Amino acid sequence: MINKKKINVDSGIESKKAGWTFGKNTYKNFDSHVKKSVPGYEEGHDIISSLSDFFIKDNSHIYDLGCSTGSLILKLSSAQTKKNTHFFGYDTEISMINYARKINSKKKNVKFIKADINNISFKKADLIIAYYTLQFISPRTRQNLISRIYKSLNWGGAFIFFEKVRGPDARFQDIFLHLYNDFKLKNGFSAEQIFNKSLSLKGILEPFSEKGNLDLMKRAGFVDIVTIQKSICFQGWLAIK
């Protein structure tokens, strides 16, 4: 019988039915949890870091939307040799922001802000990243956000985004689901934890298909878009203005 108050989704992480949150103490185990949950999660960080060299210039503004623990910004800012770069990390959860500030405390050109990314004012940017973030944005406001991202980029700037994707039809979606469950079982999740996580994400995680994501980009104005990573039902794209 399902506990209606708290359900276990991983070691050290509990949630509620349709009540997944990145707040409270989730930050303590978030990085280890997501590495087990998302195929190629760390490799995605490596890809973004390598790609950033093509777009970050002297005096660049770089945004990480939904920065969580700040580990990606730490990697990007540590690898940069350009002058006067400015990194901005945004997240809605203060516990994540506080942790991100802590691990980036020696970085003078990094700033973390608690805010809804639907409401922030962008400076002109050379690189904007949404690493498994858009899927948590309400579908009715997602297009507006991506259109604002496009307008905020300098010409030649990049939007790098990674998303969980739905299959293009019911058969492929069913295949994706089984493959993904196999992946999580191999990574040590119990069947109960897998089921509990899906319960906790009901109405909160709203992934689109690959076509749905591409349509969002094209309506915003992006023309040059390419896949940079793909594993089961997880995909990353590079879109250049």
Q: What is the per-residue pLDDT across 75-94, written as a single tens digit (0 to 9) for each?
A: 999 998 899 999 999 999 99
Answer yes or no: is 174 within a domain.
Answer: no
Answer yes or no: is 105 within a domain.
Answer: yes
Answer yes or no: is 135 within a domain.
Answer: yes
Q: 29 or 206: whose pLDDT is higher?
A: 206
Cα–Cα nearest to 240, from 89, 54, 112: 54
Question: Sorting pLDDT into bands at 50, 70 and 90, what band is 206?
Answer: very high
Query: Can you give the pLDDT at residue 11?
Result: 73
Answer yes or no: is 84 within a domain.
Answer: yes
Do residues 226 and 238 lie in contact, with contact meaning Cβ atoms separated by under 8 Å?
yes
**Chain length of the chain:** 241
Answer yes or no: is 123 within a domain.
Answer: yes
Answer yes or no: is 132 within a domain.
Answer: yes
Task: Render pLDDT for 131-184 as a digit per residue (tens, 0 to 9).
Answer: 999 999 999 999 999 999 999 999 999 999 999 999 999 999 999 999 999 999
- The tally of domains found in the chain comes to 1
Query: Can you give the pLDDT at residue 56?
Result: 97
Answer yes or no: is 8 within a domain.
Answer: no
- Phi first, then psi: give them for residue 179, nearest 5 degrees: -65, -40
Q: Alpha-carbon distance 79 to 138, whole Å? A: 33
Residue 3 has pLDDT above 60, yes or no: no
Burial of 137 (0-12, 13-18, 19+ CB in 10 A): buried
Query: Can you give the pLDDT at residue 9?
Result: 81
Query: Can you give the pLDDT at residue 169?
Result: 97
Cα–Cα nearest to 22, from 190, 205, 161, 168: 205
CB atoms within 10 A of CB 86: 15
Amino acid at 24: K
Query: Can you give the pLDDT at residue 218?
Result: 98
Q: How far lies 26's CA from each of 19, 65, 196, 209, in Å?
A: 13, 18, 16, 28
CATH number, domain with residue 111? 3.40.50.150
For residue 81 the two structure tokens come to 């040799």
For residue 139 the two structure tokens come to 């579908």
- Structural domain that includes position 120: 41-166+205-240
Q: Alpha-carbon distance 159 to 24, whole Å? A: 29
Residue 16 has pLDDT above 80, yes or no: no
Query: Can you give the pLDDT at residue 241?
Result: 98
Q: 62 or 11: whose pLDDT is higher?
A: 62
Spell out the residues 6+ positions from residue 27 whose beta carbon is closer than 8 angstroms to its own: 68, 69, 93, 95, 96, 99
Answer yes or no: is 158 within a domain.
Answer: yes
Candidate from 23-37, 75-89, 110-124, 161-175 with smallest mean pLDDT: 23-37
Q: H-type helices in the chain, by residue range?
A: 26-37, 41-52, 71-79, 94-103, 139-152, 170-186, 191-200, 210-220
Question: Sorting pLDDT into bands at 50, 70 and 90, what band is 2?
Answer: very low
Query: Can you give the pLDDT at residue 23?
Result: 64
